Structure 1
């Protein structure tokens, strides 16, 4: 009887291990499809996936080197986790400082450099009131005028979270998905069932970031066109 119990326990452990492996394999395959609809947007691209994480997409879009990194945010207890897209367009820009505009700040935005920037800059009157600016230099040394039309367009969408501008390029952070509410409330699991990024959505974010780069590089001709 004792040996039978041990055998049953061993069988149970093996079964659990197989189920766990299968579930992870399924999750990995599902998450790899996140950008499936978007790949045709790029001149060339590369997907890299670490374990069962969502894949990171890098490539060339309209002559720009870009990186799209999904980030799962489940830091705030009792808040439904979000899947953020960190969409970065790389280009050397004629500015010395770092500008970060963050919407609905909760001081838990671990993916943002805002907390490390030393200066808080007053929000221009026409900009959304739910945003805040952090920078490494005063407002007079920041290209707020050039950024004005882009800020209004980008943050007209309530899912837009952040606009970061440095001399190396532009990054927009956007909420792509919210986790399954019922599963999170019961199991505290940040599940994003069959999450996909539509091509039109990613193209829109990339075009917005490229437009910011173009204006900063040319001194505003893109905005005036």
Structure 2
């Protein structure tokens, strides 16, 4: 009788293990579809994925090296999690400083370097409200005038979260998806069903970042907005 119970327990654990592996394979495959509609945008691309994590895309767009990484933000209390898209265009820019523009800061933006930048820059009056600007040097040494039209355009979208400009290129953070509210409230789990990135969205973010790079390259990097 005891041996029968042991056998049943072993079988039960084996079934659980099989179900767990099946669910992980399904989750990995589902998340890997995130960029399916976007591959044609790139001259070349490489998709990497660790275990069941969201995939990361690296490639070449319009002659620029780019990196696109999804980030799950579920650290906000009583806040439905977001799937942020971190879009980076790598290009050497003629500026020695770093400036970060962050919308609606909650002090939970683990993906942002803002906390590590020592200088708080006053937000130009014509820029969108609820914006925190941090830098590693005074405003007079930053390309605020060059960035002016790009900041106004990007942050006019309520899903826009962050623009970071450094000597190594431009990074933009944008809310790609919100988690299912009911599932999160009941299960406390971030579920992003059928998460896919439209090619039009990815192209728009990349084009904006590329244009920021181009204008910084040719503009007055010390101008004020």
Question: Over residues 8-62 of structure 1, what are the superposed CA-to-partner deviations in whole Å (9 max), with x where a residue is unaligned?
Answer: 2211111111111000000000111100000000000000001101111000000
Match of 1:223 in 2: none
Q: 1:33-182 alignment to 2 at 5 Å? A: 33-182=33-182
- Gap regions ≥5 residues in structure 2: 221-225
Alpha carbon RMSD of aligned pairs, Å?
0.9
Counterparts of 1:40 and 1:118, CA distance in 2: 41
Q: 1:12-31 alignment to 2 at 5 Å? A: 12-31=12-31
Counterparts of 1:184 and 1:12, CA distance in 2: 29
Q: What is the TM-score normalised by the length of structure 2?
A: 0.96
Shift of 1:164: 0.1
Shift of 1:77: 2.4
Counterparts of 1:7 and 1:182, CA distance in 2: 39
Counterparts of 1:218 and 1:128, CA distance in 2: 25
Counterparts of 2:26 and 2:71, CA distance in 1: 19
Shift of 1:75: 0.9
Q: What is the TM-score normalised by the length of structure 1?
A: 0.96
SS in 2 for 1:33: helix
Q: How many residues align?
A: 220
